[in-house]
Every structure is written in structure tokens, then in C-alpha cells.
Amino acid sequence: MRYLCILILLFLTYNSFGQDFYFGNDLSSVNQMEDAGAIYKENAQPKDVYRIFADHGTNLVRVRLWVDPSWWQSPLQQPAGVKSFYNDIVDVTETIRRSKEAGTKVMLDMHFSDFWADPGRQLVPRKWIGVASDINLLRDSVYNYTKRILTGLNKQGLMPEIVKVGNETNGGFINQIPQDNNSFEVKSTISTSWARHAVLYNAAIKAIREVGATASIKPKIALHFTNKLSGQVWNYQNVINNGITDFDIMGISYYYSWHGGSIQELQSTIASLKSNFPNYQPMVVETGYLWTTKNYDSMANIINDPDPQYLPVCPEKQLEYMIDYTRAVMKGGGIGVVFWEPAWVSTACRTPWGIGSSQDHVAFFDPVNTNFMENGGGRWTEPQFYTDRATQKIIFKVDMTGKDMSKGVYVSGDFTAVNGNWKILPMLDEGNNIFSYYTFLEPGKTGAFYFLNGNDWNLRETVPPECAKANGTDRQYTIPNAQATFLYKFGRCDTPATLPVKVTFKVDMTGQDQTRGVFITGDVSNWAIVKMNPEGNNIFNFTTNLMPDDSLAYYYLTNSTWTDYLNYREKIPSECALVWNSDRRIIVPEVETQIGVVWASCNEFLNTSSHQLQNTQVIRIYPNPAIGKINIKAEFSLENSKLYISNTIGQVLKQIILQSKNGIETISVSDLPTGLYVFRIQNKNTFVTFKVMLQ
């Protein structure tokens, strides 16, 4: 009876919290990908892709509709089997049919354009250009088109549950003229008046309501805006002030890569929308997050910047990010989340910008075999993550410094139990010998756990008696009323002396060219060129997690490519170019810090760290250039120090544990080819970096 009550409680909780919540994925490109030869798989077996998503909890499919995309799609040279154009009403009808057959609801994303509609491009459909400046005739075109589309779908039993009027309409609605009839570039803007836009919005809304009045499905109406989270309340107050009031859903886009901010700010934004406009429902109708920074085809990736709170970039972190993201929307009072194009895999299909996919690094299918990645973000829609929003996210971490980690690192505990039996679960390698595993547990719960140095019960850690408070052999946890992390050294009671800390880099770009953006690179980003976020007054920032006492190089640029990068990087004065006489240096403090400098100068306008930059030279490496071997001489013991040997783009090629107590050690480098390398020696108190030429 007790277990029956628990099951009923879980069902009621999910029924009230999860089932009415939209777990959505935009599958607008699926039909074209399949025509191009993509075979979607799960567990290495071909499977209907709509069913794959539905089986993992997707209950809403978003699909993009263009008025007439034939004029720009037909000229593109496509591989055999691919039709001339997609995302017209014929293709969209097929997507809706397949979605409903898989048991999902549908959001029809009406762009009211022949081409992608977004904040910078809201092109009038080619067939309406002749009436574009006559608001009455254009209103009639919008009304008649909307009514015709929905009437046709309704007759086929394919009425969508949600109709979205426009796509990211910050810059207006159906208000731009293309350069010519065969161009998707903007020539001019008809009007920026929201009174004018309101006439067109209301024409589409009227048609939706009229068709829905006699249909078995009465679709909800969504609007859609995108910009920084802080501007969303203004967006909806603006449309309401201009007489656009007969809608149901306040849709927003929020991508970390494009909008900055944080998941916590997202939750606050959703809550603000709910509070300010109680008659409408907030919803994230578009988002996306990467699982790798690698590009698998010739077409450029478009979602490139990870949230620094979710590093390293990997499939597991994509899943964790999306779960936290969705729970934040739920807690803020939102009704759904839609992930954009998670099935746009790499094929030979052509777009106006190239061949392939801009989402191969974001899609939920591996780019080699198109197999659903069980460890990736595709599982974000599964109900198990949302059965009880009162639970807190709990992270278990272990420091494996000095241990052989070749067999992997694992955790077990009562929170892993299935039918009362504990399971051994793998932990994620976060770098710096730290491994993690997260789950969601009830506040106040007390339980037991321990770590294992391999997937074998015999490889569990021996927990010292003074901290084996559970069962006399295991570690014990008690869940607080907030997110928490339990971190220990393997087989010990103490926590690591150093934990990753948040560091924010800021640069003052006053008087500098910012047209291409502002970027940072160096050890602080594993030598990736990362775009910084503008915060106003010519200040740009970048936040990441770093290990205390690490000595790291970095500098700023005004371009995102390594091509001719010297023309765009800052020239740092010698007195603060402490790494390689060219780069800035930070010794990471033990507490959260912010460091702000003026471009190409040593002037600081912000430094919340108590650590000052130092050029400690208490270690020598010789000879340099070297052949076959290299000598290290330090003024202190090198026992348990680490030597990292990297190439010039920051990839670590070798990691060696030094053991010399007298500070003198000889290292063989005969296995490395001729070239320039970066040697970084990490000691408890000293971090020194050298450039070494091997011959």
C-alpha cells in the first residue's frame, strides 16, 4: 500500500507539473535529411526519428512554415533524392502528420516570409510585395493566407495545437523589402511602427480564432521575441500597448551563446513575465546548446559559446544544461521549452551558406553513424528528471589526484538503487583529476554513498572510520534546501584544497574597433577564441571556471579567426606581458574574482583578487632547443609535481608526474616530433610556463 501511494503521488505530481508542460523539439529539417540519405538510429538500429523523440518524452514538435520558399531553394544544387524545396505547406503537412502519428502535439511556426525570419530579417513574401505598402491589402493577404493554411490542415485532421504568429519579430513584422525578387538580403524597411505591425498580427490572430472556433482542436496562439532576457517584459508590454492582446503564449528565445545571461536569470525572466502578465503563459519556444566545439562538415557552426557553469563541453554537459534549463523554466512558471533543430544532421544538402549542417555539433545524433546519443541532450525530455520539482540538484565529486584512473571513476549509493539494489554509475571527467555525478534528491533526505576506481565492486574506496558515518563503511550525505556539492578526496575524509573558482575577465575597449566583436583566448579558454559579452560603456566580459593557483596566459582580440590574428590581437606592454613576452598572465586566486584591464595596456580598472601578477623564475629548463631529452632544475622539491607538454594551440600531448626530491629531473622527449612546444610545470606553490623547441 505504501508503494502504491508513492506511485500515485508521483503520477499526480507529474500529471500536474510535467504532462501539461511542453517538452518540444523543432524537427523542421527531418524530411529533407531523410531524403538526403540520413538514417536515424537508436541503439544502432534504424528507427523512425519522430518515434525516437516521442519515446524519450517529446510531446511537442515545432515545424517551420514559409509562404513560398521555392524561388530561393530550387536553384540550390541538391543531392539525388532531395526535392526542390521544403518547409512549404506540402512538406509541413507531412511533418505534422508524422508527428501526430508518433503521439506528439504540434506547434506551427508561421514565419510569414519566404525565408528565415529573425530580428534582422522580416522579408515580405515575394507574392505580397506588390501590396506591401498598402496596409489594408497586406492585412487581407495575411488573413486569407492564415485562414487557408489552417482550414486545409483542419480538413485533414492535422490542426496544430499551437500556432506561432511570426518568428523572432523584435525588428517588426512583414516589414522589409528584399533587394530584388531573387534576393533574401534586405533592401529597405517599410515601417518600424508597432501600430502598423499590430494590424497584421491581429489579422493573423483573427483567422486562427475563426478556424479554431469550429475545429476539434482550438489552437493556442503564441508570439515570439528574442533578445537579452532583460528586454522580454518590455517586448510584451509593447505589443499589448499597441493593441495585440488576443494571444495565449508569450514565447521567447534564449540561447546562452547569443544572449549571455544565465539559467538563473532565465528563471527570473519567466517569473517576471508570469507576474507582469498573469493572463498569458510564458514559454521558451526556441533554444539550443552544444555538446562539442568540433565542426564535422564544411558548413560553419552557429552555436559556439558554452555556459562556463557547464564545462567541459561534452554530451553529458549538454544533457545537464538542458535539464537545469527546463527545471528553471518550470520553477519560473513557464509552460514549455522547445529545442531548435536537434535532428539537423550533416548531409550533402545545400543551404545558401554552404553544404552540411550548422547543428552537427548540437544535434542529438552522433555525426558519424546518426545514432541517438544516450549520454547526450536528447534525453532532456524524459519525465524522470521532472517528477518532483521540490528536489534539489546534488553533485557528487571526487578528487582522484595521484590515482590510476585508466579504468574510469564511478559512484554508488542509495540514490542509484533500482528495486533496492545499488548500481555502479560512471562519473564525468571534468579535468584537473575531478570527477562528478549529479542527481536530484529531496531536501532533508539522508543516505549513503562511496566512490569506486573502476566498474567493479572490489575497486571501491576504503572510507576512513572517522567519516564512514553510514553503515560503518560508507560516506553519508544529508540534502539541504538548496543545490549542493559533496566533494572529497578518494579514500579520505578531507576535501581537496583547491576547487574550481569562477573568474570573470573584462576589457575596456573605449576607442577601439568593435565591429567584428571582442574575443579572448589563451590557457583560460584552452586556446579557443571565445566571443566576449558586451555589458555597455565599451566593456566586454567573459566568465569561466579555473583552478586556483594555476598560472595562465591570455590576451584579447577583435576578430574570431587565427587567420592574420596578429593584426587583431592586442599589443601588450612588456611590463605586463609576463608570458612569452607577449601575453597577459593570471595566477588564479582561491576565491571568485573579476579582473578588468584596458585594451593593450597594463591599466586595471577592476581587480577583486588579492593575487598580483608575478613572474616567478625558480625553475629552469635546459637545453633549449633540446634533442631527445630535457633537464629540469628547481629551487625546491619536484616530488608529485606535474609536467604538462602541449602544442602551440593548447592541446596537452603528455602529462608526467615528477618525483625528484632534490629538484633535478631529466625527461625523455624522443617520442615527440621536431617543433615548438609549451612546457608547464605545476607545483603546489609554483606554476611556470616555458616555450621549448625540440630538434
Would you name the residues annotated as active-site residues? 168, 286
Alpha-carbon distance of 292 to 346, in angstroms, equals 14
Position 475, amino acid: R
Handedness of CA 683, 689, 690, 692 (dihedral sign): positive
| H helix runs in 214-255, sequence order | 232-241
Q: Which residues, 6 or more positions from 149, have their beta carbon under 8 angstroms from its beta carbon?
A: 65, 89, 110
4: burial class by Cβ within 10 Å (0-12, 13-18, 19+)? Answer: exposed
Alpha-carbon distance of 141 to 152, in angstroms, equals 16
Alpha-carbon distance of 457 to 463, in angstroms, equals 14
Q: If we measure between CA atoms, which residue out of 116, 150, 160 comes closest to residue 24?
A: 160
CB 301 within 8 A of CB 261: no
Q: Which residues, 6 or more positions from 550, have their beta carbon under 8 angstroms from its beta carbon?
A: 523, 587, 588, 682, 687
260: burial class by Cβ within 10 Å (0-12, 13-18, 19+)? Answer: buried
Q: How many residues does the chain have?
A: 695
Alpha-carbon distance of 172 to 191, in angstroms, equals 8
Alpha-carbon distance of 416 to 14, in angstroms, equals 21
CA dihedral 13, 19, 23, 28 (to 10 degrees): 170
From residue 259, how far is each of 53, 359, 471 by CA, in Å? 27, 18, 48
Q: Which long-range contacts (CB under 8 A, 24 or more apart) does 49-53 make?
A: 49/343, 50/98, 50/99, 50/101, 50/102, 50/104, 51/102, 52/372, 52/378, 53/25, 53/27, 53/102, 53/104, 53/343, 53/378, 53/381
CB 364 within 8 A of CB 376: yes
158: burial class by Cβ within 10 Å (0-12, 13-18, 19+)? Answer: buried
CB 196 within 8 A of CB 239: no
Alpha-carbon distance of 386 to 380, in angstroms, equals 10
